[in-house]
Chain A
Amino acid sequence: MDTRELVCIICPIGCRMTVVKDDYVSLGYKVTGNTCNRGEAYAVKEMTNPTRVIPTTVKIKNAQLNRLPVKTNAPVPKGLIFECMNIINKVEVEAPVRLGDIIIENILGTGIDVVATKTMEKI
């Protein structure tokens, strides 16, 4: 029977959780040590399909700086991070860009968009 020690990364408290595989509970895992429900959900997800938000940059033209910060607007499966990066790295946008503008729609068919995380004016 699998027992795993996990540190929750949902918020900076960083709860230390123990996850035990347990087919008798509805989630399939028994989680202890968490202080909120989000922690439990994270633990189960971490065991089955871990996901992460990707914060990175894309090239930008005609702005004060050469790079525009972006992120995926929802966590993507961990296994797709580098495939996403391959796509993100090829994009070049032009200023002006508003915070929240969609830079890449539905990346890798995940239904998740890559969005600008900063407003950059045209210079």
Chain B
Amino acid sequence: MYDVAIIGAGVIGTFIARELSRYKLKMVIIEKDNDVSNGTTKANSAIIHAGYDAKVGTNKGKFNVVGNTMFDQVCEALDVPFKRIGSLVIAFDEEEMKTIHSLYENGLKLGVPNMEVIDSTKVKEMEPTLNAAIVGALYAPTAGIISPYELAISLAENAIDNGAELLLNNKVDCIDKVYKGYKIHTNENVIDSRFVINCAGVYADDIYAMVDTPDFKIIPRRGQYYVLDKSAGEIVNKVIFQCPTKLGKGVLVSPTVHENVIIGPNAENLKDKEAIETTEDGLGFVKESAQKIYEDIPFNKNITTFAGLRAEPSTGDFIIEESKKAKGFINVAGIKSPGLSSSPAIADYVVEIVKDINGGLEEKKDFNPKIRKKIRFADLSDQEKTEIIKKDSRYGRIICRCETISEGEIVDAINRNAGATTVDGVKKRVRPGTGRCQGGFCGPRVMEILARELGRDMKDIVKDHKDSYILTGYTKEETEFEKVKDLVAPAIDK
């Protein structure tokens, strides 16, 4: 019997797991997919919002501002790239400036620090490339950029370091209420747990429906993005938002922590919770919309496009509470933007809920808030490079030349807790394949290393999901040509 079962290994599930791993609890994270952070967490804008735009009195308003302040510490402890670069919400006319002012006022009420409403001269100073027609902006210096999937992975690693368990490829089929807890049936296992924390993202309503009639629905709202190559340069220095409309925050242009440029998203309400394909219309909208911010965005430097699904709650706000009927079942649902920004504060709040239900929690004396330091070879000084190769020669072999990722880093990413078992898993953790060549050169090398470290044949190495085989077999072994005559074009004169 577990004390806590967390369903969903996105940034919310893993953050809660990490915070609960401070206490003496037997805990398991149940994830339907083949890796942690494989849903919304891996496909979003990767922004830590300052928190001026949520309504006062809402969960969003409450958690965003607090959550924002917590990132420096957690990212330091977990060695996750995070940069507080600030954001601008730009206005093109006086009408939009009104919105800017009201955002500012709203931000003050919510406690957002150091905001400024700035004029076009100041905008130009901060962001010389932007459209000259901009009349002013809201500057929020506390906004930041992060690698959300690296955050979730490191949170999972740290939770496991501190005793939590992780079950991948376990899709929850049904949940039975049993004496003093729940019986969770997955496609692989039956798990008994006193408490269940539902962090299932776009599926949170479906999971909740297994124990009670949900009073909310989750609508998958798709957003599509472009990612530009590093060589696109620093076209912007800060996160640049357009003035919000009823439809949301609109298309943003921002640097990423890995020095790419991210552009997106659009917003499409869908029914299909797996619809993460990009569309010509969607990308076209993003492109056109972004060109309003900066006309000459070098879209020819695009290295990839992707789409993610936000978990849009029918209630309009985060749902973070113990179910009224299903005792010990905690919903953490509808965590759309600013969900990532709020995640540390949400996790703390959920810990309080668990404390309440459990009548307090006992702290572990040996809780270690830090993970083993990651080596980022490309960032080392020449001296450090020399030393690390002496210590472990695998750091002297570069596997990904676009991002200068060494074999040592890849092996480490595989062998950590919550380690990589797939090509995309390696890519999310140490980034080979995220550069210009998109894995063309390093992909086969990464597969070789995975096969070696995991003791598998290369053809059993998958890209991402359990059945996403890259290779279909060996050459020479399956083919026996029968109708040989039909396969070749005959001599012309016959």
The reply to whether B492 and A79 contact each other, CB–CB distance below 8 Å, is no
Interface centre among A6, A50, A59 (most CB of B within 10 A): A50
B: which residues have CB within 8 A of A?
Answer: 475-477, 479-481, 484-485, 487-493
The reply to whether A48 and B491 contact each other, CB–CB distance below 8 Å, is yes
Complex alpha-carbon distance, A82 and B487, angstroms = 8
Q: Please judge, given known A-B contacts A2-B493, A48-B493, A86-B481, whether A78 and B476 are in contact too, CB under 8 Å.
A: no
Q: Please judge, given known A-B contacts A82-B481, A85-B481, whether A59 and B476 are in contact too, CB under 8 Å.
A: yes
Across the interface, name the chain B residue whose C-beta is closest to A2: B493
Interface size class of A (residues with CB under 8 A): 20 to 34
Which chain A residues in 44-82 approach chain B with CB under 8 Å?
Answer: 46-50, 57-59, 67, 78-82
Which of chain A's residues have a CB closer than 8 A to the CB of B489? 78
A89 at the interface (CB under 8 A from B): yes
Q: Please judge, given known A-B contacts A67-B475, A89-B476, A89-B479, whether A82 and B484 are in contact too, CB under 8 Å.
A: yes
The reply to whether B492 and A50 contact each other, CB–CB distance below 8 Å, is yes
A118 at the interface (CB under 8 A from B): no
Q: Please judge, given known A-B contacts A57-B475, A67-B475, whether A78 and B491 are in contact too, CB under 8 Å.
A: yes
A83 at the interface (CB under 8 A from B): yes
Partner of A79, one of B479, B480, B485, B493: B485
Complex A-B: 27 CB contacts under 8 Å: A2-B493, A4-B493, A47-B491, A47-B493, A48-B493, A49-B491, A50-B492, A57-B475, A58-B476, A59-B476, A78-B489, A78-B490, A78-B491, A79-B484, A79-B485, A79-B488, A79-B490, A81-B487, A82-B484, A82-B487, A82-B488, A85-B479, A86-B481, A86-B484, A89-B476, A89-B477, A90-B476
Partner of A78, one of B480, B481, B488: B488
The reply to whether A47 and B492 contact each other, CB–CB distance below 8 Å, is yes
A29: shortest Cβ distance to chain B, in Å?
9
A-B contact count (CB 8 A): 48
The reply to whether A50 and B475 contact each other, CB–CB distance below 8 Å, is no
Across the interface, name the chain B residue whose C-beta is closest to A89: B476
Which of chain B's residues have a CB closer than 8 A to the CB of A78? 488-491
Complex alpha-carbon distance, A57 and B485, angstroms = 22
Which of chain B's residues have a CB closer than 8 A to the CB of A80? 484
| 10 additional contacts (CB under 8 A) given A47-B493, A89-B477 | A4-B493, A47-B492, A58-B476, A59-B476, A78-B488, A78-B489, A78-B490, A79-B488, A82-B488, A86-B480
Across the interface, name the chain B residue whose C-beta is closest to A57: B475
A86: shortest Cβ distance to chain B, in Å?
6
Which of chain B's residues have a CB closer than 8 A to the CB of A46? 491-492
Q: Please judge, given known A-B contacts A67-B475, A79-B485, whether A50 and B491 are in contact too, CB under 8 Å.
A: yes
B163: shortest Cβ distance to chain A, in Å?
42
Which of chain B's residues have a CB closer than 8 A to the CB of A90? 476
Which of chain B's residues have a CB closer than 8 A to the CB of A57? 475-476
The reply to whether A83 and B492 contact each other, CB–CB distance below 8 Å, is no
Complex alpha-carbon distance, A82 and B489, angstroms = 12
Which chain A residues in 19-40 approach chain B with CB under 8 Å?
Answer: 21
Complex alpha-carbon distance, A57 and B474, angstroms = 12
